[in-house]
Structure 1
Amino acid sequence: MTAPSHVGPVSAAPTAVPAAPATPAPPSARNVPALLLALRRREFTGSVTVSSAPGGTIHLEHGLVSAVETPGAPTAETLLLKSRRVGEEEWASAETAVSVGRPADAPPAWGGDLGAALVAQGSIGAAELEAVCAAAAFDGAFALFLSPPGSWETAEAAPPARIALRPGIEPERLFEETARRTALLTRLWGPPGELARIRIRPAARADSGEPRIPVRYREILAASTGRRTARDLGFALGRGLFAVLLDLVRMDARHLLHREPAHRAPLAPSVAPRIPTSEPPPAATGPLPRRVRGRHGAGGSGGASGPGGSGGTGGLPTRSEGAAAGPDGPPNAHRAEHTARTGTTDQNEKSEKSAP
C-alpha cells in the first residue's frame, strides 16, 4: 500500500492523540450474583465491596473471582499462618521480596504476587497454594451468603488481594458451590445461619476421654470455651468456616457438644440513668373485684350471680386472676385467701353431715 502524496510541504502541526475511552458505569443489578455475572461479561478488574453484617470485599481479575475477604471467614493468609503451613518468618521474607521487587511506577492494580514469592522461596508448593486460595475464596463467598443482603460498591482502582488465586474462579462455579454447601448443612442440621451463631463448649461425654474421638474433633473441643462460634474456631485453628460447621454437625450427632444460648443475659445490671417520661402515670383504678364462692342453686351450676354474670366456675380463680395479686397484698395472697375460704366451707360441710 503506497503512502498518499501531499501537495506542498507537510505541516508541522502535532498529531492529535486519541482520547482514552471513558470508563463505563458499573452495571445495575438486583443482587450481588447478578452483578458478578455482568462484571464477568465486561471482564472487569477491580473489587466489589459488600456492605452487610459482616460484609466483605470480592476481588475480580478479568471478571474472575480471585479472592473473597470477609470478617466472617478466614482468608488465605489466615489459613496458611494459623495452620502453620507457612511460618511467620517465611511470610515476612516473602513480603520483603515483593516490596523490594515492586516497580516504582507500578499501577495500583499491580499484583505484587505474594503467593509467587512464597512458592519461589520454597515455603509452599504451587498446587497446595492454589488449593488453599480456592478454599478461602469459596469459604468467603459462603460466609457472605449467610449474612443478610446489603448494598455494594464497585471500584476499578482498588488494590488487589495480598494473596490471590490466578486465573480465578468463574462466578457461576462460586454460586453452585455455595448452594451445594447450604443444601448439605440444611439437610444435616437446619438453617446454616443459625448454626453459625451457636456458641459451644464440650459436653460431659467429650470430657470423659473417649479414645475414638478424631484428632480434628479434639482440637475443636480444646478451643471451645462456650464463647466461640464456628467462625471464631475457624480463625483460631486455621480452618475454613464450612469445614468447621460440618464438623460441628457431626460432633453434635455424637453428643460431644453442649450448645450455649444464642442470647445470654447480661452479667451486671444496667447503670444508665433513668429518664422519666413526659407522660403522666396512669390513674389508679382500684382493686379488681373478687369472686365470692356462691351456693349451689336449683340449676346445679354454682357461681356468683349478678348483673350480666354467669356461673360455671364455682368461684375458682381463672389463670389471669390467679396471676395477679391485690394492690396492697403480697404476691399469691389470693391463694391463701382462697385456701382459707375453702377450708372453712369444708369444715361447715363436715359439721352438717355429722349432725343428727
Structure 2
Amino acid sequence: MTDRSRAPEPTRPAPTAVRNVPALLLTLRQDGFTGSVIVSSAPGGTIHLEQGLVTAIDTPGAPAVETLLLKSRRVGEADWATAGTTAAAAPGPRAGDLGAALVAQGSIGAAELETVCAAAVFDGAFALVLSPPGRWEVAEAAAPAPIALRPGIEPRRLFEETARRVALVTDLWGPPGELARRRIRPAAQAESKAPRIPGRYRDILLAATGRRTARDIGFTLGRGLFAVLLDLVRMDARQLLHREPAHPAAAVPSVAPRAPHTGPPPAPAGPLPRRTPGRRGPEGRGGPAAPTDLTAPHHLTAPPGRPEGPAAASDDPPNDHRAERTETTEETEKSAP
C-alpha cells in the first residue's frame, strides 16, 4: 500500500527548464534545495544554497570572506589557522564550520562575521554579472562553504541589490564591467593631493601600480570589488587616477529570470517589411525593441539612454557634473563593504 501521507520528493529543474541562473535560483528556492550551482564563465564561481537561500558565493572575481578578514586584519593568521584546526575536528553538524570556530574562540563577534559574510555574498553576485554567463550545473552533494551566511539571502533580494549596484556605477561612470577591467595607476597630480584625501583613497593609490585592476586592488586591501569601484569613480572625478585602456568585452548580461515560452505560437505577422536604403527606422535596423517583462527582477544592464560602448568610458577628464554626483552619493555609500 502506498503511503499517501508522505510528501513527494522535490524535483530538480532540468537544464532546459530555465534559461538563466537567476531563474534557476528562483526554482531552487521554491524546492528548498540544498547544494550548489556551479557557473562556468569568466570568472565564474560557485553559488552555495541552503534550503534555497544563498549562503555564500565563491568566485575569483571578488574577495571571499577569508580575504576580507585576513587582509583587513580583522582576524590574524594564527587565529585563522587555529580555527581551521578546531573546525576540522569538531563533531556533528559543526564539523568544518570555520565561522563558528572563529566566533567560539573569540577571534570575531557573531554580528561582525555575519556582516562580512553578507558583504561577500552581495559582492560575489556583483562580480558574476560583470561578464557574459556561461553554462551551469546543479550539484546536490557539494560540500558546504566553510564560512557561510545563515540562514542566507533570498535570491530575489540578491537580484535587486545587484541590479542597484550595477545601475549606480553605470549612472556615475559607465559600464561597470569595463571599469573593472581597467588597470589603474595614480595620476601625475595625485601625490600633491594625497594629504587632503581620505585614507582609503591613499590606500588605493599605493596599491594602484598600473598593473592592478579593481579586483586586484580589492584582494590586496581586503575590500569588496563594488566598494573599490565606487572609490575609483570618486577618485576619477577628483582626477587622482590614470586608467589604462581596457580590452573590449561583451555587454553585461541580464539577471532577469526567463522561462521558455509556453503559450500558443504567435500568429503570422505577414511579409517582412522592406528595408529602405539609408533609412534607420521601424522598417530597418534600429527599429523598436521587443517588450520587457516588467514583473521580473531588474535587469543588470545600463539604464535607458546610457551608452554601452567605449564612448561611455572616455579617458577625458571628468566634468564638474560627474564630480558633484559622486560627492552626493559618497555619504550614502560609505558603508559599502
- Pair in the same fold by TM > 0.5: yes
Q: CA deviation at 1:262?
A: 2.3
Identity fraction in percent: 76
RMSD of aligned alpha carbons: 2.2
Q: CA deviation at 1:101?
A: 1.4
Checking the alignment, whether the CA contact within 8 Å between 1:47 and 1:154 is kept in structure 2 is: yes
Deviations 1:88-131 (A, max 9, x none): 1101111111111135xx7xxx7632111111110001110000
Structure 1's unaligned 5+ residue stretches are 1-18, 265-356
Checking the alignment, whether the CA contact within 8 Å between 1:111 and 1:160 is kept in structure 2 is: no
- Structure 1: distance between partners of 2:36 and 2:151: 15
- Structure 2: distance between partners of 1:41 and 1:20: 15
User: Is 2:198 the counterpart of 1:198?
Assistant: no
- 1:245 is aligned, of 195, 211, 229, to 229
User: Is 2:30 the counterpart of 1:44?
Assistant: no
Deviations 1:206-264 (A, max 9, x none): 12254211100000000001010000000000000000000000000000001112259
The aligned residue for residue 31 of structure 1 is 20
The aligned residue for residue 130 of structure 1 is 114
- Structure 2: distance between partners of 1:210 and 1:250: 14
- The aligned amino acid for 1:94 is A
The aligned residue for residue 148 of structure 2 is 164
The aligned residue for residue 97 of structure 1 is 86
Deviations 1:281-314 (A, max 9, x none): xxxxxxxxxxxxxxxxxxxxxxxxxxxxxxxxxx
- Structure 2: distance between partners of 1:24 and 1:175: 24
- The aligned amino acid for 2:147 is I
The aligned residue for residue 96 of structure 2 is 112
The aligned residue for residue 199 of structure 2 is 215
Q: CA deviation at 1:26?
A: 3.0
Paired residues, what number?
243
Q: How does 1:77-92 map to 2 (within 5 A)?
A: 77-92=66-81
Checking the alignment, whether the CA contact within 8 Å between 1:202 and 1:258 is kept in structure 2 is: yes
Structure ID, larger Rg: 1
- Structure 2: distance between partners of 1:166 and 1:65: 9
The aligned residue for residue 9 of structure 1 is none
The aligned residue for residue 260 of structure 2 is none
- Structure 2: distance between partners of 1:230 and 1:210: 19
- Change in CA separation of 1:24 and 1:263 when aligned onto 2, cut-off 3 Å: closer
- Structure 2: distance between partners of 1:143 and 1:181: 11
Structure 2's unaligned 5+ residue stretches are 1-5, 249-337
- The aligned amino acid for 1:205 is Q
Secondary structure of 2:196's aligned partner: coil
The aligned residue for residue 150 of structure 1 is 134
- Change in CA separation of 1:128 and 1:190 when aligned onto 2, cut-off 3 Å: same
The aligned residue for residue 57 of structure 1 is 46
Would you identify which runs of 4 or more consecutive aligned residues in structure 1 move more than 6 Å?
Answer: 19-23
- Structure 1: distance between partners of 2:131 and 2:174: 16
Q: Which has the higher contact order (CA 8 A, sep 6+)?
A: 2
Q: CA deviation at 1:32?
A: 0.4
The aligned residue for residue 242 of structure 2 is 258
The aligned residue for residue 231 of structure 1 is 215
